[in-house]
Structure 1
Amino acid sequence: MNAPPSPPPVKTTCPYCGVGCGVLARPDGFGGAQVKGDPDHPANFGRLCSKGSALGETLSLDGRLLHPMMRNGEGELVRAAWDDALDRVANGFTETVARHGPESVAFYASGQLLTEDYYVANKLMKGFIGSGNIDTNSRLCMASSVAGHRRAFGSDTVPGCYEDLDEADLLVLVGSNAAWCHPILHQRMAKNRRERGARMVVIDPRATPTSDEADLLLQIAPGMDSVLFCGLFAYLADKGALDRAFLRDHTAGYAEGLARARHIAPDIDAVAERCEVPREQIETFFSWFAETDRAVTLYSQGVNQSAQGTDKVNAIINCHLATGRIGKPGTGPFSLTGQPNAMGGREVGGLANQLAAHMDFEPESIARMRRFWNAPNVAERPGLKAVELFEAVAQGRIKALWIMATNPVVSLPRADAVQSALRQLDLLVVSDVVSGTDTMMASPHVVLPAAGWGEKDGTVTNSERRISRQRAFLPQAGEAKPDWWIVSEVAKRMGFADAFDYASPADIFREHAALTGFENDGTRDLDASGLAALSDDDYARCDPVQWPIVKAGTDGGKRLFASGGFFTADRRARFVAVADPKLAATPGRLLPLLLNTGRVRDQWHTMTRTGKSPRLGAHIGEPYVAIHPKDAETYDIAHGGFARISTLHGSAVLRAEVSEAQRRGEIFAPIHWSAATASDARIGALVQRSYDPVSGQPEMKATQATIAPVRYAIHGFLLSRKPVDLPAGVWWARAAVEGGVGYRIAADRIGAHWADIAKRFLPEHDELVEFLDEAQGRYRAARVLDGSLDACLFLAKSADALPGWGWLKQQLAEPKLSESARRALLAGRAPEGGVDHGPLVCACFGVGRNQICGAVASGSAASVEEIGATLKAGTNCGSCLPEVRRLVAEAKERVPAE
């Protein structure tokens, strides 16, 4: 008999960054899926980054939260029925509001929620509980951009589209490592540069893979972005590079904005001095911008995550308004959003200082919400923003908190204080997909299992205002439910059943779309009312579309504001006179260094999803701190050794990476590792509480810090098919590997003999084959069961005495060991004729360093393009291309001349 035809792939959207890539997902019949890019989606045209390409590897049920749970009288979380859990949540919030008032409760949501989820959560809190206290982890990534848009445009409007990246002649990236964090868009820009000759400028305190491909890098001093763009504004005015007609007809506040810019940055020399960048580099950038009509300025967390983030955004926008470079092809300021639905959350009021449909807390908007929702108790003032909200928890002002789809015990500033505060709550509710987050360790009273990506249905809005469908292609795991359903059921139990009687996400979307057009008449930017009458079938089939959409069947247009029409009272954009910048860390400086935080290429947020993928954990498999060589010398830090970073708020021990990419006086550490994935690497615990006074977005890029070496007596790694409980006092970092799990480890010597130490890592000691070299301080052990490698442990006095673990990881993945591989296990390297791919370079296709270098050495490839043709490395998302380019150059230098 012929096998039944496989079902067609489901068109959905990637759940990672705000690029909003289309995905084709086909269930594999074993709980996972085959995933590839959707060639018809206008955000990515079939390309996916390394994270998106590995989505199929992250769908397993290990670590999933599958059932509701409640804390019993003994303080234990035990399985509960949905009705009991929902009743406890509803009764807890109702009683807290009755006793302490609506300001005593709060929701903390996430850019991982779908628009429909966000809508019902905001409606419940602001519309029916009557408090503004719903905020989101999107506050940590794009709130300053929102505030800057609203000050300049009168609305939170992204004016451009992705096609502008193809059509620009100058691409300016500010505080954005797009090559790693938004690689699909970065490849569009790189293609423009390669094929059309567009120039690329990168402005960043660090040299990054993005700057590797730039025509100009301005390695700017931390926090000085406003100085740079104030200087550019004044330069444009002095050179007459202005659009006088646009200024006259569509803007206000030009004179005041320019006067402040001249005060902050009177000339190029002053800009160069304050930014700590050579004068000639400043002049080159200014002249390129002045002479290039088609210029796009893209900015991300390096701008937004700052105590002056909103001013930085407005300093950038001022330059585009002055030249009329907005809303036209190849022009505009462009915010690269961090999360998949940060913009969707903004649209439905997920930020504490906004109402739904991009409305503010103004009397007429509050009255409009009352009429539309038939809700007499609509909140009348903004709620607490993220940092303030958790401080209110610590102060006892917030008594009941519901955390949805986020992990604030890792991601928020002063994360240890956040963890302590959560334990004080009368009621802590956590709804999530996974069970083992650090936030789950903070003693929640009720835990609710939410449907995950691939199981839930709804919409998201990407960075270019494009609404796309996220569709289910897997059954909901265990008893998991969609977030909109969970919130609606709680609302019904609180007495608001009529307002939350939704049968599907389509019902919610229609209501949201109708609200955007309610009493709008062109006075608000967000209008998707053309979608308010979608049938269920239309909703199911809905193609990606950009708002505003005021009429069914039409696309709202790619760009806004080319001919003015801003959403201020007089329809004119506003120049903003920004403040003279000063780092929050500067006054009374106590510690010598500044800690900058950010992301790595193949991981996402706190790794609850990407941490499941072996190939995503292979590129950078452990937490690290990057430091300039001169600072490393000053503080006695060795490359590859360990260092303790300390701030006024906490400390962490990380592997040291000595790198010229760092500026002196600054260190960098990634944000991803948690208590679940490393012993001592929660970087959020080190970050200061300072935040932007306008946006409320915390300063994540410049915390006072110091650094000191940490020296361990033992270094090593452990590979095992099953997770291992490591002994106390051991430094460790965990990564998924094919066939099991891998641990990098370090410790002080425990016990008098190597064998005693080994027993602490692998208790089933009798089954081991061992090697011990006391003189050299090396111990190695392996356990083979039924012909397969079950575990291996390598320890040494020095990390330099350890082999790489790449070949051993390959053996762990094999169902059976070859005889030669078995004999070579304790050597830790491939036997004669064996293959060792080396450390991973290209996560999309699993290409290792040894493969690339070997291809060059053998003559089968002599360029990046030939590596792509031979090995496929760099031919998907391109985020590995800077590293491939460097390896090819280094390998060619080693090839002897004929």
Structure 2
Amino acid sequence: MSDASGEVRTTCPYCGVGCGVIATRAADGSVAVRGDPQHPANFGRLCSKGSALAETLDLDGRLLFPEVGGQRVSWEVALDAVATGLRDTLTAHGPEAVALYVSGQLLTEDYYVANKLVKGFIGTANIDTNSRLCMSSSVAGHKRAFGTDTVPGSYEDLEAADLIVLVGSNLAWCHPVLYQRILAARAARNGRPRLVVIDPRRTASCDQADQHLAIAPGTDSILFDGLLVHLHRQDCIDLDYVEAHTEGYLAALRAARAHAGSVPDVARACGLPGEAVAEFFAAFARTAKVVTVYSQGVNQSSCGTDKVNAILNCHLASGRIGKPGMGPFSVTGQPNAMGGREVGGLANQLAAHMDFAADDVARVQRFWAAPVIAERPGLKAVDMFRAVAEGRIKAIWVIGTNPVVSLPDADAVRAALHACPLVIVSDAVADTDTVACAHIRLPAATWGEKDGTVTNSERCISRQRAFLPLPGAAQPDWWILCEVARRLGFGAAFDYAGPAGIFAEHAALSAFENDPAGRVRDFDIGACAGLDAPAYDALTPFRWPQPAGGAGIGRFFAEGGFYTGDNRARFVALGPRAPVYAPDAAYPLVLNTGRVRDHWHTLTRTGKSARLSAHAPEPYAEIHPLDAALFGIVDDALVRVSSRWGEAVVRAKLAREQRPGSVFVPMHWGSPQASRGRIDAVVNPATDPHSGQPESKHTPVRIAPWVPAWHGFVLSREPLALGEGLDYRVQVRGDGLWRYEIAAETPVGDWSAWAHALLADQPGEGWIEFFDAAAGRYRAAAMHDGRLLACVFVAPGPQLPPRDWLAGLFTRDALTVGERASLLAGRPGPGQPDTGRVVCACFRVGVNTLVDAIRRQGLATPEAIGAVLKAGTNCGSCVPELRKLIAETAA
């Protein structure tokens, strides 16, 4: 939907908050984005990633034309090749030899068509999604307790609560708009809701927390089982609710008592002080309005489903569910993880929240008029790629995701794809670890170019709208899938004129043989089944259910009404379950993976933005100083992180916020950005037996210094082909330059020749060099017309000048005499400004600027800093770091 000004209302393509965005395209083609003040998810606020969306829309690195066997071809040739390959596989090996692996980056309409094709026409359920990696344990836990995958909470509950418990969720960085909504509510309500954070690491979300429980990794269910016992002892059980609307409470209580029967028992098992556990239990027991927000720290576990049900047990027992300001709340990582769940995107689901029960299978087949239909669940993500490795799957189509970086045991995933007879990849990006494995590459449209819907974490369906033309030969995923379906002989069932028709069919299926009043199925958007294209284009955000001819249910489960045979929720009796792989003498530490503040997934979008890359330019390992000392690791050096499955080399970052015995490494970097930074090559492939979700938070590892012969960095206006001989390489986009962090185990004999060869394509009349042979330090710079073209700094160790001031020189049309004199020193001379590393990505405010303002102007609060420098006034995710800078400067 666009207005006369050319503004287009759309939805952010990042996390599951689902923020509304207004995009405006100028006559010169440039795009501006801002938050949509009318959208109910964000009311105009955007995080740093959303604010930088316009910086990620260039066509650099795009896959723009189909390729078969590495050669550019027409769409006709590429689609025929896909259809022929799939048909030959089906003929020779049957439908179970075919698989699709898709993504929460897809729009609901893309997702729907993919599932319809695979499950209803090819006849296998071997279609799974990367959402398996982030929230499938929540799906399994919801279904065990509620009978269906229903998220009962809403964002308004976060503002109405009196206590919010964040479990395994760094909301301040991963869902910053929601975190800011909580902080705004606290400011308006005199410190309510109180905030408790349960996380092994002291993250940015602890900045405003009233309590932080640095729990031992993997012990969440023990903590919540202990809470259930405490609620019982304190007479905080809502007996009326339990008796009227649930089953299995006493069995769950008995199981909890067996291993979490007292505060000392829980404290000992969770590695927490007893008084801290008692304080948390007391706060939960005495507060009626409690929301427990949980995310990947709970889900990404080999016992993630049990952790989810331990949380749900406490809310069911206390009746704190479905009412304003109370309930369990799973927040999703991807923009359309929820939409994928609605269309059956997981291998163990059918569309419209149906399963593989015989009645559901028959119902979906009738609605689709499908010639065949999958009658049993397919292979979940980890098992799917294991089947590829074993040769059981002969053809796999990967759409909109990068499993060679994001799946556990990622080296084995890459080997499996290299051995697979047919690998098809649909993507918008030409150079990813997964695209490199493809026999057929299909150019897909991306955000700003495609139309459809997404569903956020609170069940709100919003439109994503196109405001850019399709570049090259790129096409929407639904179109590609439909064209393949037509070539397979299913054209009549996939004859869609556009996404509006797909959405209308999706809505009609949700209402088909459904009766929301009778509690048949929770997901019903039948009110949208009759939408034509103009009405679809004008669709405004709404929260499901929205049945035809009736009002939607405002809240789920406040008065019971669960989607089980007797409409009662099920308590789940839980016992202690240790992680599949435990630390031992060979691998004594626990690896925890996750996200950083300003990046997203595998950098294919955020990696294009200089300011989003500035805060965390390299993959790193966050290590407690005690562990660093034990294993000989020093800050800022390179460290090898190894497990039984693989290894990575990353930068060491010593942090007292880390729990001793644990190591945290972000998951974003693939081979194109960091040659040895794929941390999921290290992660173990254990999965939850109920959900199939991988254990991304608990891999036994060891750490050791990685000591190359030399370290260095290169800054260059133009991208460089660094060539062979580097054992460590990280590529970062900066403002008007490219930054490369490099290292090698082989010494260089002639540094000057090496540097000239490296920068051979740089035009220039000026070459400045410095070489200290005794110290093993070399520095050089290429100049042209007074401008800095490139510079190289090399040393035997990691002690090299900061990059920020040098990077700033690339913004100059010509260097001053003083800047030129200071160039090879790598630091500014007197009177030369140096903003330092970026702290606030939204407004590009550096640490030196902040410290100087704090000192000179006596700024004592983040608000005071914001008033002077704007830092922290947009998404607020840098506020914890601002507070830390204030304290350090005062000290």
Same fold (TM over 0.5): yes
* Equivalent runs, 1:119-268 vs 2, <5 Å: 119-196=112-189, 197=191, 198-268=193-263
Cα distance between partner residues in 1 of 2:810 and 2:476: 37
Alpha-carbon deviation of 1:426?
Answer: 1.8
Matched, 1:84 2:87: no
Of 705, 729, 733 in structure 1, the residue corresponding to residue 730 of structure 2 is 733
Residues matched between the structures, number: 881
Match of 2:387 in 1: 392
Match of 1:437 in 2: 432
Q: Which runs of 5+ in 2 are unaligned?
A: none
CA gap of 1:733–1:28, structure 2 versus 1, over 3 A, is: farther
Of 691, 703, 708 in structure 1, the residue corresponding to residue 699 of structure 2 is 703
Residue 188 of structure 2 aligns to which amino acid in structure 1? E
Matched, 1:752 2:749: yes
What SS does the corresponding residue of 2:611 show, helix, strand or coil? Answer: coil
Cα distance between partner residues in 2 of 1:160 and 1:557: 12
Of 493, 502, 506 in structure 1, the residue corresponding to residue 487 of structure 2 is 493
Matched, 1:482 2:476: yes
What SS does the corresponding residue of 2:441 show, helix, strand or coil? Answer: strand
Match of 1:795 in 2: 794
Matched, 1:605 2:601: yes
Task: Note the alpha carbon deviations across 1:443-473, whole angstroms, 9 max, x for none.
Answer: x121100001000000000000000000000
Cα distance between partner residues in 2 of 1:66 and 1:262: 59
Match of 1:26 in 2: 24
CA contact (8 A) 2:598 2:613 kept: yes
CA contact (8 A) 1:193 1:200 kept: no
Cα distance between partner residues in 1 of 2:273 and 2:457: 33
CA contact (8 A) 1:257 1:576 kept: yes
Cα distance between partner residues in 2 of 1:218 and 1:345: 33
CA gap of 1:169–1:457, structure 2 versus 1, over 3 A, is: same
Match of 1:62 in 2: 60
What SS does the corresponding residue of 1:333 show, helix, strand or coil? Answer: strand
Residue 546 of structure 2 aligns to which amino acid in structure 1? I
CA contact (8 A) 1:394 1:422 kept: yes
Identity rate of aligned residues, in percent? 57
CA contact (8 A) 1:782 1:793 kept: yes
Match of 1:74 in 2: none
Alpha-carbon deviation of 1:758?
Answer: 2.7
What SS does the corresponding residue of 1:495 show, helix, strand or coil? Answer: helix
Alpha-carbon deviation of 1:786?
Answer: 3.4
Matched, 1:533 2:530: yes
CA contact (8 A) 1:174 1:299 kept: yes
* Equivalent runs, 1:225-624 vs 2, <5 Å: 225-442=220-437, 444-522=438-516, 523-551=520-548, 556-586=552-582, 590-624=586-620
Match of 1:634 in 2: 630
Cα distance between partner residues in 2 of 1:392 and 1:91: 22
CA contact (8 A) 2:165 2:195 kept: yes
Alpha-carbon deviation of 1:396?
Answer: 0.4
What SS does the corresponding residue of 2:684 show, helix, strand or coil? Answer: coil
Alpha-carbon deviation of 1:832?
Answer: 3.1
Matched, 1:825 2:823: yes
Task: Note the alpha carbon deviations across 1:775-833, whole angstroms, 9 max, x for none.
Answer: 44432211122332211111223333x22111121121334434443343223233433
Alpha-carbon deviation of 1:861?
Answer: 2.8
CA gap of 1:887–1:87, structure 2 versus 1, over 3 A, is: same
CA contact (8 A) 1:749 1:757 kept: no
Cα distance between partner residues in 2 of 1:680 and 1:417: 15
Cα distance between partner residues in 2 of 1:811 and 1:362: 65
What SS does the corresponding residue of 1:290 show, helix, strand or coil? Answer: helix
Residue 109 of structure 2 aligns to which amino acid in structure 1? E
Alpha-carbon deviation of 1:892?
Answer: 2.6
What SS does the corresponding residue of 2:489 show, helix, strand or coil? Answer: coil
CA contact (8 A) 1:31 1:59 kept: no
Alpha-carbon deviation of 1:355?
Answer: 0.2
TM-score normalised according to structure 1 size: 0.96
CA contact (8 A) 1:32 1:57 kept: no
Cα distance between partner residues in 2 of 1:351 and 1:873: 41
* Equivalent runs, 1:760-775 vs 2, <5 Å: 761-763=758-760, 767-775=766-774
Cα distance between partner residues in 1 of 2:622 and 2:848: 24
What SS does the corresponding residue of 1:594 show, helix, strand or coil? Answer: strand
What SS does the corresponding residue of 2:338 show, helix, strand or coil? Answer: helix
What SS does the corresponding residue of 2:614 show, helix, strand or coil? Answer: coil
Q: Which moved more, 1:599-608 or 1:856-865?
A: 856-865
Match of 2:714 in 1: 718
CA contact (8 A) 1:31 1:60 kept: no
Cα distance between partner residues in 2 of 1:667 and 1:557: 44
Residue 88 of structure 1 aligns to which amino acid in structure 2? A
Cα distance between partner residues in 1 of 2:371 and 2:111: 21
CA contact (8 A) 1:160 1:558 kept: no
Cα distance between partner residues in 1 of 2:881 and 2:439: 47
CA contact (8 A) 1:405 1:431 kept: yes
Matched, 1:9 2:7: yes
Cα distance between partner residues in 1 of 2:318 and 2:9: 40
Of 689, 693, 700 in structure 2, the residue corresponding to residue 693 of structure 1 is 689
Cα distance between partner residues in 1 of 2:28 and 2:169: 38
Residue 774 of structure 1 aligns to which amino acid in structure 2? A
CA gap of 1:248–1:589, structure 2 versus 1, over 3 A, is: farther
Q: Which moved more, 1:569-578 or 1:307-316?
A: 569-578
Alpha-carbon deviation of 1:386?
Answer: 0.1
What SS does the corresponding residue of 1:875 show, helix, strand or coil? Answer: coil
Q: CA RMSD for the aligned pairs? A: 1.6
Cα distance between partner residues in 2 of 1:306 and 1:762: 46
Match of 2:834 in 1: 836
Task: Note the alpha carbon deviations across 1:142-167, whole angstroms, 9 max, x for none.
Answer: 00000000111111000010000101
Matched, 1:854 2:849: no
Alpha-carbon deviation of 1:679?
Answer: 1.8
Q: Which moved more, 1:211-220 or 1:465-474?
A: 211-220
Q: Which runs of 5+ in 1 are unaligned?
A: 72-76, 894-898
